[in-house]
Amino acid sequence: MTETTDPPAGSTAPQRVLRWVLGAVVVFLAVLGSLALLGAMKVIPEIALFGNESEERNAQVLTAVSREEQVVLLSLGIEGIDEKTDRTTFLGVDIPGSERATFVQYSFSAKLGIEGGDVRIDETGEGEYRITVPEFVFIGHDDEHFELITERNGALSWITPEIDELEMVRGILSDDVKAQYVADNEALLREQTESFYRRIVTGIDPEIELTFVFEDSAGSRR
């Protein structure tokens, strides 16, 4: 005779189905919770990365502008003829025929700019910077050519010392002459300065706003 086993008291088929359904719902909610947690973990690093990227941009701006070497902003093609005339005098009166005249033709490229290490940059607001530019200087020259093209000597020029051509060349490139080249081209140098640094900074971030302050040789602002 076969014995039959009765289901546990209080446990019916509908109850078992209900327990299975409730278990599936719990598992489903747990999976959703895990996915939400993973999504939050992905968003948080992205938010942190955005902040670091902004700081890195600032560092890039500072590094790009803070150049240590001389910055050539303008190259001028200079050419001309320098004339020097000497004569001998007696009791303050010129001796006729004693004059000597020397003519030197010259050409060179003059390089004007600034000392990059003296440029200062200050952040004045969100995405706004002030660039303080030092005085403009004569950086150097190249492609120079000096040539004696003619002399004009009077009948008594032998009593007048010969003119030193090297001294004439030094005069062509004297400190006063170099300073004059800078002064004559100051407006163009300012334009070139702004264009030069705007290209650098906007290459990092086109939205950055720049203002410029120019200093003269005494350090005062203009």
Same domain, 25 and 103: no
Range of the domain at 35: 11-65
95 shares a domain with 119: yes
- Residues 185 and 125 reside in one and the same domain: yes
Last residue of a domain, one of 44, 65, 86: 65
- pLDDT of res. 98: 73
Does 88 lie in the same domain as 60? no
Domain identity same for 56 and 98? no
Last residue of a domain, one of 45, 65, 85: 65
Please indicate, yes or no, whether residues 166 and 90 belong to a single structural domain of this protein.
Answer: yes
pTM: 0.62
pLDDT confidence of residue 134: 92
90 and 117 inside one domain: yes
- Sequential pLDDT tens for the chain (222 residues): 445 445 555 556 666 666 766 666 566 656 556 655 555 555 445 444 444 454 565 666 666 666 667 888 888 898 888 888 877 887 877 778 778 888 888 899 999 999 988 888 888 888 888 999 999 999 988 888 888 888 777 777 677 777 777 888 888 888 999 999 999 999 999 999 999 888 888 887 888 899 999 987 544 555
Q: Mind spelling out the 3-state secondary structure of the chain?
A: CCCCCCCCCCCCHHHHHHHHHHHHHHHHHHHHHHHHHHHHHHHHHHHHHHHHHHHHHHHHHHHHHCCCCEEEEEEEEEEEEEEEEECCEECCEECCCCCEEEEEEEEEEEEEEEEHHHCEEEEEECCEEEEEECCCEEEEEEEEEEEEEEEEECCCHHHCCCCCHHHHHHHHCCHHHHHHHHHHCHHHHHHHHHHHHHHHHHHHCCCCEEEEEEECCCCCEC
Considering the domain architecture, whether residues 60 and 80 belong to the same structural domain is answered as: no
Tally of structural domains, the chain = 2
